[in-house]
Structure 1
Amino acid sequence: MLPATERLDVLDIERLLRQKAYFVLHAPRQTGKTTAMLELARRLTASGKFISVLVSMEVGAGFPDNVGLAENAVLSSWRQSIRFQLPKELHPSQWKTSAPEGQRIADFLTEWSLEAQRPLVIFIDEIDALQDNVLISVLRQLRAGFPQRPTAFPSSVALIGLRDVRDYKVKSGGSPYLNTPSPFNIAVRSFTLRNFTGEEIRTLLAQHTAETGQPFTEAAQERIVDLTLGQPWLVNALAKVCVEELVEDLTMPIEVDHVNEAKERLIQRRLTHLDQLTDKLREERVRHVIEPILAGQVLDAIPLDDRDYVTDLGLVRRLQVGGLA
């Protein structure tokens, strides 16, 4: 395994934490965002300078039209995360909030900040699981509490998801977009989590060889790099099929043909991660980007927001010379 934090701009993030800044981390699914930020939270708490925890908004998705129920579900989930990640002496003394609907997230964070022995650094995962009024409510609560940091609100907050939440245009009723500025315009920086480099892929495969004695041929390694472009889930999935299904004899090397067969098996199995991406291809705004690329046409007429959306999903990548592929 490679430490997920190596693919983060950790030095820049630590600088922002010293500045009490709020920021965003966005990257496609299954790239290691949660793992990286969980490890960073542990590191920050262990430093003795902060109390840091990774919490999630995912359970709030079950209540898309009810802010109060979503808040209650989210806070219940947060309690479990805090209890698991932090020693008891760093827990908040009060787990419940009597605040009215639409203020419960902020109230919980305020009360904890006021009593905390160190500045709070909160990493909020799965922010884009929330929709419409629930999402707007949470973002506005964070924005409203921002001026009170670090005494009465977290010193730093990071929102983690598929997209840059600063650019969200939240759909509402019959109107295409809410006529309101971004509810999270307090974020000063947006980070992403890069894919593995070719060298990192080779390092991962070499770890398997060191542990088992089974090598990947140079050609097989290059094929994995070419097929995955370093997408972490794909790298691990291809290698797993190769070593656990196709070549169980550890004295035999993994060849290019094995990698190609592993690719076909992953496609045929329609695993959840790949199925989700397939479903996205049916969206009109995705097709408007993908179809011109496949036809070799320019994307000048395609809205930038649509191009960013498809890139954030991991369906296309930005080229160093400009454009998408």
Structure 2
Amino acid sequence: MIPASARLPEAPELVQEKKYFVVHAPRQTGKTTALRALATELTASGRFAAVVLSMEAGQPWPDDIGAATRAILTGARRTARTNLPAELRPPPWPESWEEGLLSDAFAAWSKSCPRPLVLFLDEIDALSGRTLLSVLRQLRDGFADRPIGFPASVALCGLRDVRDYKIASGGNPTTMASQSPFNITVASLRLGDFTLDEVRDLYRQHTTDTGRRPMA
């Protein structure tokens, strides 16, 4: 595995500064692996509670915000149970109306967590329609309450650059005066392709782990 700090060197500083940002990269570039490694490093530091949450569970419901959100939160609880110690996991999700369920859940988690909460929302571009628009709005609306009442740092992670989310959610890209479709992200990071040295390092790790040399 290539260290997350080498693949996403800007991300730790953005998290420390309590920023919201975007990470995008093509498929098969190790994006999710790098994010998981970064989340593990941040949590192990003792300063943050960081976890990668997949938004893909909400994909079947582009216009049913409630169903999509409940699916996402079910997966989030399972992921937290697997990757975080008990004291950093979310409390029971609160009752809320569909348009506020995600933000209320993230707010409750942030308030109960003894450390600043950091969420990497992976596969965000699996969402579309009213569901995507609602998620973006809820993140924007909760932003001012961070770090105690909302996640301290959030990254939207997917295949697209930040400007494309407004188009996918039904917005007009010609009206965008800022980089962000919801005016809170400060950076858009593209995860680079593996360098030749990184490929060689991965091959060496494969050989060490399996005792087999890759076929030429």
Alignment TM-score, normalising by the size of structure 2: 0.89
Q: Which protein, 1 or 2, shows the higher relative CO under an 8 Å CA cutoff with sep ≥ 6? A: 2
Amino acid at match of 1:178: G
Aligned-pair CA distance for 1:24: 0.6
Structure 1 CA distance for aligned equivalents of residues 61 and 206 of structure 2: 43
Moved over 6 A (4+): none
Residue number in structure 2 paired with 1:170: 167
Letter in 1 for 2:77: R
Kept in 1, the 8 Å contact 2:117–2:152? The answer is yes
Moved more, 117-126 or 200-209: 200-209
Q: How far is the alpha carbon of 1:4 from its aligned partner?
A: 5.0
Counterpart AA for 2:38: L
Tell me the SS of whatever aligns to 2:125.
helix
Distance in 2, matches of 1:14 and 1:107, equals: 26
Paired position in structure 2 for 1:20: 18
RMSD of aligned residue pairs (Cα, Å): 2.0
Q: Give how far 1:78 is off.
A: 0.6
Match among 187, 190, 198 for residue 189 of structure 1: 187
The residue number in structure 1 matching 2:52 is: 54
Alignment of 1:156-305 (within 5 A): 156-170=153-167, 178-179=171-172, 181=176, 183-208=181-206, 212=211, 214=213, 243=215, 254=216
Q: Contact 2:29–2:194 at 8 Å: present in 1 too?
A: no
Q: Return the offset for 1:105.
A: 0.6
Given the superposition, is the C-alpha separation of residues 62 and 198 from structure 1 closer, same or farther in structure 2, using an over 3 Å criterion?
same
Per-residue CA deviation, residues 137-161 of structure 1 (Å, 9 max, x unaligned), is: 0011000000110010010001100
Q: Distance in 1 between matches of 2:118 and 2:168?
A: 30
Give distance in 1, aligned partners of 2:156 and 2:76.
Answer: 14
Distance verdict in 2 for CA 1:99–1:43, change over 3 Å: same
User: Would you say 1:8 and 2:41 are equivalent positions?
Assistant: no
What is the count of residue pairs matched by the alignment? 210
How much identity, in percent, do the aligned residues show? 49
Amino acid of the structure 2 residue aligned with 1:85: N
Give the Å deviation of 1:178.
2.6
Structure 1 gaps, min length 5: 215-238, 244-253, 255-325
> SS state of the match for residue 167, structure 2?
coil
Asked if the contact 2:166–2:181 (Cα under 8 Å) also holds between the matched residues in 1, the reply is no
2:90 and 2:200 map into 1 onto residues whose CA distance is 44
Q: Which residue of 1 aligns with 2:113?
A: 116
Going from structure 1 to structure 2, the CA distance change for 1:202 and 1:184 (only over 3 Å counts) comes to: same
Report the CA distance shift for 1:45/1:163 in structure 2 as closer, same or farther (over 3 A).
same
Structure 1 residues 39 and 47: CA distance shift in structure 2, 3 A = same
- Offset of 1:202 from its aligned partner? 2.8
Aligned to 2:28: 30
Letter of the 1:5 counterpart: A
Q: 1:87: how far off? A: 1.1
Q: Does 1:102 align with 2:87?
A: no
Take 1:74 and 1:8, find their aligned partners in 2: how far apart are those partners? 27
Report the structure, 1 or 2, having the larger strand content: 2
Q: Indicate whether 1:39 and 2:32 are aligned.
A: no
- Alignment partner of 2:82 out of 84, 90, 99: 84
Please say if residues 53 and 122 of structure 2, whose CA atoms lie closer than 8 Å, have aligned partners that are also in contact: yes
1:7–1:193 Cα contact (<8 Å) kept: no
State the one-letter code of the partner of 1:128: D
The structure that has the greater radius of gyration is: 1
Q: Which deviations, in whole Å up to 9, do the C-alpha atoms of 1:87-146 show, x marking residues without a partner? A: 11211222x221101111100011111121011011110000000111010011000000
Change (3 A) 1:194 1:88: same
Provide the C-alpha distance between the structure 2 equivalents of 1:16 and 1:171, rounded to a whole number of angstroms.
25
Is the CA contact 1:28–1:162 (under 8 Å) kept in the aligned structure 2? yes
Query: Cα 1:150–1:171, aligned 2, differ >3 Å: closer, same or farther?
Result: closer
1:169 is paired with a residue of what secondary structure? helix
Cα distance in 2 for residues equivalent to 1:169 and 1:188: 16
Distance of 1:207 and 1:178 partners within structure 2: 45
- For 2:2, give the aligned amino acid: P
Helix, strand or coil at the partner of 1:41: helix
